[in-house]
Structure 1
Amino acid sequence: MNVMAERQHLGQGTTTSWEKFWYILGCIYLGAAYFQKVPVKKALSEYGLVEMTSAEKFWYVVQCILFGFGYFAKVTIKKALSEVRSPAGFPTA
């Protein structure tokens, strides 16, 4: 099975029907998918790419209080983001 994804751009990406299905299923299962998304959004927000909702900010703090889970998850994500190469013509700081 050849699973070749189309190239997507930040802010213009799409999800397939199956990705939407599995995300919803993951959220139903004790909010697991949602709680995994929160540290990712925190890392992206620190790069100025997204804004977190007040609910996401709340759950991020809760995750940080619980053995630092949210913080340690964010650190790994920020490390990966710091290694992203900018495409030609894309402004960098």
Structure 2
Amino acid sequence: MAERQYLGQGTNTSWEKFWYVLGCIYFGAAYFQKVPVKKALSEYGLVEMTGAEKFWYVVQCIFFGGGYFAKVTIKKALSEVRNAGGVPTV
């Protein structure tokens, strides 16, 4: 079983880092998948998006609609997270 991680204190394995970089090299696919997740987290006040992430989120929403629809799914999952002692309540 994997070791429990907490928001802001998690780590990636060497292989996870490798595959993320490889995914970013391949047309930025991994980066573009991350943007809607960061948008959802930012709406909960857990992270702050960079200017580039804000720009690409808008582009995803305008041209694909995918950015928004991906964010909706992620926010639904986040709304079901119970505070388990690692996530501060706001």
Q: One-letter code of the match for 2:62?
A: I
Q: 34, 46, 58: which is aligned to 2:55?
A: 58
Unmatched 5+ stretches in structure 1: none
When normalised by structure 1's length, the TM-score is: 0.91
Contact 2:38 2:47 in 1 (8 A): yes
What number of residue pairs does the alignment pair up? 90
| Aligned-partner SS, 1:66 | helix
- Higher RCO, Cα 8 Å, sep 6+: 2
For the aligned residues, what is the CA RMSD?
1.5
TM-score (norm 2): 0.94
Which consecutive unaligned segments of at least 5 residues does structure 2 have?
none
Shifted more, 82-91 versus 44-53: the winner is 82-91
**Given the superposition, is the C-alpha separation of residues 87 and 25 from structure 1 closer, same or farther in structure 2, using an over 3 Å criterion?**
same
Q: Any runs of at least 4 consecutive aligned residues in structure 1 with deviations exceeding 4 A, and if so which? A: 88-91
Whether 1:69 and 2:66 are equivalent positions in the alignment is yes
| Structure (1/2) with the larger helix percentage | 2
Q: Provide the rounded CA distance (Å) in 2 between the counterparts of 1:76 and 1:54.
A: 23
Letter in 1 for 2:26: Y
Equivalent runs, 1:1-93 vs 2, <5 Å: 4-88=1-85, 91-93=88-90
The sequence identity of aligned pairs, in percent, is 87
Larger radius of gyration: 1
